[in-house]
Chain A
Amino acid sequence: MKIKKTFDMKLFNVIAYSIIGFFGLITLLPFLMLLTSSFATEHDIIHYGYTLIPRDVSFDAYTLVFKEPAKILRAYGVTVSLTVVGTALSLFVSTMAAYVLFRKDVKHRNKLSFFLYFTTLFNGGLASFYIIIRNHLHLGDTYMVLLLVHMFNVVFILILRSFMQGSLHDSLLESARIDGAGDFTIFLKIVLPLSKPALATIGLFTGLAYWNDWWTPMLFVDNKNLFPLQYVLYRVLSSAESARTIVNAPVAIDSPKESLKLALTVISIGPIVLLYPFLQKYFVKGIMIGAVKG
């Protein structure tokens, strides 16, 4: 078969490897550049701009961040707790709803599905949502608003239902029922554990939505102690003033500003990039599930 590797194969390989390599490179490069630039001295950044290989390695910006880490740690705490609590609650309730929609003996399941699905077709707009949250539900400036706004996604519930349709057998549920298990027990003991593969992926999507949220706090939260990481980062990046207050640095000309922004950005994406190799597996598998069955 080796003889078949003729001209067209070679040509294809040249094209494919260079295009895919190019895309791989331009997606990786900004991350690398961010990391290396964050170790550059403020002087070098101002005079020579950001570079891939810094002239002098300096830890100034990081030292400054870690000297007074209270505010950054607080933002981290808010984000991590939102992500963990929000994702756990969301998965539990979503799977429960998906299970009800999956059960064929629930006569009104199609009506219930449509009740959820309609919200993806039509919505009241952000202005009405804003007034309801702030004025009618009085959720402005609370931890709850950060937790609730991103909690559920109808599409995820429908994907979970499709997953159950493809992997849970009626006979399994039937035998549990004969053994005297109630509907909730069946859900807890059988459906939830068997849905793990789908839960891993949906959990990842939900977790990411929490981790990357910046506009909910921007619209609904004024209390600085409740600001999650992304919003703190946004404020830091949009003004040098915030960059200094976050680490209580004195307003001095020689204090690092640009490198401080870079260091804070690195600190905020660190966990995601470090966890990424472990998360990616579920992610790709999950998209495949969604694509094939959704």
Chain B
Amino acid sequence: MQQMKTLRFSSMFGDIGKHKALYAMFIPIAVYTLVFAYLPMAGIIIAFKEYNYTGGIWGSAWNGWKNFEYFFFSGKAWLVTRNTIVYNVVFLACSTFFSVGIAILISEMRGKYFKKISQSFMLLPYFVSWVIVSAFVYNFLNYDYGVVNTMIRHFGGEPIDIYGTPAYWYFLLPFLYIWKWVGFNSILYLAAIMGIDQECYEAATIDGASVFQKITRITIPLLMPTMIILVLLGLGRIMRGEFDMFYQLIGNNSRLLDATDIIDTLVFRSLAGMPDFGLASSAGFYQSVLTFVIILAANGAVKLYNKDYSLF
């Protein structure tokens, strides 16, 4: 036993000795990952501590589940969990539907230039930050000079206070999500469609199949595996939200917050300005642990479905 251990030990370092240069080339990324990912991972224990500046993460005193008490008993935990999950499910469903739809339409279109130009436009939102998207949205929807309200006034109607009414945002947020990502996501599906054997389509054409039959009988069934895998992987990230979007569009708007607060925005708001480490760390702990479990489950599902596509 002892002998085997030393054997394994020496082989481990033997390999490092043999490839000194290669292992040395891995050092920068290893150090970075240790400091910026693993160190904060260990720091997750701050969720069970009363943070004070001099003690830092390791020196602060333990306080059991106290940080979690406020997070759970104030009803915040339920609220942000519900919002995070509901929005993400809606986003995932809508974006899959529209991305697949657009990819199919583009793949069957013949007008080369029309296709290229409209695709360029659809990709444009991917390149700008949510800061800028939020400026667009403000230009369209604000009460005083927004395009929508200007038009309503022009026709003699009563302007609507969109930034004060949560109901509108249940539709606006999914719409904006699609607006920003559909160009990008449709390329992923387009790549999958390009991978389908052209002979299938040729054979179908000879047999007299219409375009619609080709789409429903060839393209969609053959896209299914890609769709299922991307959806499962998307479900794995369900507890992590589109933080930039929510924060930029809603920010600290208290009239909308109950309807739109997600875990990430709650954590961020409790850190920006006057930090509330108790709330931020307990919500963050809750999110990290749940995410980990859900990713493992989603990956298990992918593995059951098709071993080749599982993450690990």
Residues of A within 8 A of B (CB): 4, 8-9, 12-13, 15-17, 19-21, 23-28, 30-31, 33-34, 37, 45-46, 48-51, 93-94, 96-97, 99-100, 103, 105-108, 112, 114-117, 119, 121-132, 135-137, 148-149, 151-152, 157, 182-184, 187, 208, 211-215, 218-219, 230, 233-234, 237-238, 258, 261-262, 265, 268-269, 272-273, 276-277, 279-280, 283-284, 287-288, 291-292
Contact = CB atoms under 8 A, between A and B. Distances in A.
A37 B117 contact: no
Given A116-B29, A280-B120, A34 B131 contact: no
B203 interface: no
B128 interface: yes
A254 B29 CA distance: 54
Contacts of B11: 107
B118 A23 contact: yes
Contacts of A49: 144-147, 149-150, 153
A128 B122 contact: no
- Of listed A33, A115, A124, residue having the most chain B CB within 10 A: A124
Given A124-B42, A125-B267, 10 more contacts: A26-B179, A28-B121, A119-B33, A124-B43, A125-B288, A131-B51, A132-B39, A219-B271, A234-B131, A287-B187
Given A183-B22, A258-B145, A123 B29 contact: no
Contacts of B21: 182-184
Interface in B89-110: 101-102, 105-106, 108-110
Interface stretch (B74-82, B216-224, B274-282): B274-282
Interface residues of B, number: 108
Contact of A212 (B47, B56, B128, B285): B128
A121 B124 contact: no
A173 B115 CA distance: 42
Contacts of B304: none
A265 B135 CA distance: 8
Interface string B177-211: 00100111001100110110000000001000011
B247 interface: yes
Dominant secondary structure of chain B at its interface with chain A: helix
B30 interface: yes
Contact of A230 (B131, B268, B280): B131
Given A125-B285, A183-B21, A215 B268 contact: yes
A152 B109 contact: no
Given A49-B149, A125-B285, A106 B22 contact: yes
A51 B140 contact: no
A127 B46 contact: yes
B102 A23 contact: yes
A31 B124 contact: yes
Contacts of B280: 125-127, 130
Interface string B20-45: 01110110111011011111111110
A268 B106 contact: no
Dominant secondary structure of chain A at its interface with chain B: helix
8 contacts: A4-B205, A112-B30, A129-B43, A215-B247, A219-B272, A265-B135, A276-B127, A283-B123
Interface string B116-141: 01111111110111011011101110
Contacts of A122: 41, 288, 291-292
B25 A184 contact: yes
A273 to B, nearest CB: 8
A121 B128 contact: no
A20 B102 contact: yes
- Of listed A135, A152, A234, residue having the most chain B CB within 10 A: A234
Contact of B150 (A48, A123, A262): A48
Interface string B40-62: 11111011000101001100000
Nearest to A117: B312
Nearest to A21: B118
Contact of A123 (B37, B110, B272): B37
- Of listed B22, B109, B120, residue having the most chain A CB within 10 A: B22
A123 B146 contact: no
Given A23-B102, A24-B122, A132-B57, A125 B22 contact: no
B118 A24 contact: yes
- Per CB-CB distance, the 3 closest pairs between chain A and chain B, nearest first, are A125-B284, A49-B150, A24-B118
A288 B129 contact: no
Contacts of B281: 125, 127-128
Nearest to A28: B121
Contact of A37 (B114, B139, B187): B139
A114 B312 contact: yes
Contacts of B211: 8-9, 12
Nearest to A212: B129
Contacts of A116: 29, 33
Contact of B37 (A25, A114, A119, A276): A119
Contacts of A9: 210-211
A129 B247 CA distance: 19
A99 B25 contact: yes
A130 B271 contact: yes
Contacts of A117: 311-312
Given A34-B135, A100-B25, A123 B191 contact: no
Contacts of A25: 121
A30 B288 contact: no
